[in-house]
Structure 1
């Protein structure tokens, strides 16, 4: 059963989090694990807005930490659906840090996550088609499809390797 399509802009999520001393790592920056948790939260909001069902994080495909975020800053997590398959979605999350005193905003990281939509019995369920409206939507979708092909090929290679009886 295919659900009606939804535009990328309908499900976008922006989550802001002020980083406090308990969010620090030993170097005094915001701990990467805190950033990852917030990314997953923002990503799940965008995924649930798209499919309007419960979702589960299937994979954290990639995380690029570009610059540190500092204690006292507001970290902004911008999540969008890049690709919608049959029951899964790739969500891209852009992470920015804002210095509240100067107003400077820095791109500090980007991540790609895959979520699977779940029905009431917690089984995978179809998601709406993704309607691409802008050139940016199309670019992100094209890149997400390429990442999906790489993920599937890697999963196939891993399974084949696990099934080889003579492998070390």
Structure 2
């Protein structure tokens, strides 16, 4: 399977931050931003694989700066590494004060998606060709993030075995 350039999976969504998008602190709801993140990341993974995909994990969403109602929010995603059927997608969130033009990275996230066939079974995906310095830097640490992800998943499995499914009032 031929490798694909990172740029071929790039997705950008820009939105105004409106009052209904904000919390009691007057900044953008984290959950609203997380929905944007999953949406654009899924589009990037689908563009890369050209088959249906499912979110397998969200490694982290690191909120670095608040996003204000006077800002626009630009959510940019692209596939940064691949496994056999999995794709790691990087998402950067840029806030822009629409009155001053100041832009900054407000948040970052890494998500993993799995490509599926018509029977919802994993299928192989093309490899990735990072070209820019940003893409190369993110790609070179992919193996470390993958290892950390496997450790977290195993810990989650152990925790799930311990947890109860009983109703709290029983």
Alignment root-mean-square deviation, CA: 1.9
Q: Which residue of 2 aligns with 1:126?
A: 124
Q: Which residue of 1 aligns with 2:165?
A: none
- Greater shift in the superposed pair: 36-45 or 124-133: 124-133
The verdict on how the C-alpha distance between 1:21 and 1:144 changes in structure 2, with shifts beyond 3 A counting, is same
In the alignment, does 2:24 pair up with 1:9?
Answer: no
Paired residues of 2:5 and 2:128 also in contact (CA < 8 A)? yes
Give secondary structure in 1 for the equivalent of 2:84: coil
The verdict on how the C-alpha distance between 1:19 and 1:155 changes in structure 2, with shifts beyond 3 A counting, is same
Superposition pairs for residues 1-168 of structure 1, below 5 Å? 3-157=1-155, 159=157
Per-residue CA deviation, residues 38-79 of structure 1 (Å, 9 max, x unaligned), is 011111111111111111111110111000001242100111
The number of residue pairs the alignment matches comes to: 162
Aligned counterparts of 2:160 and 2:54: Cα–Cα separation in 1: 25
The verdict on how the C-alpha distance between 1:123 and 1:13 changes in structure 2, with shifts beyond 3 A counting, is same
Gaps of 5+ in 2: 163-170
The verdict on how the C-alpha distance between 1:116 and 1:103 changes in structure 2, with shifts beyond 3 A counting, is same
The TM-score normalised by the length of structure 1 is: 0.88
Give secondary structure in 2 for the equivalent of 1:56: strand
The TM-score normalised by the length of structure 2 is: 0.87
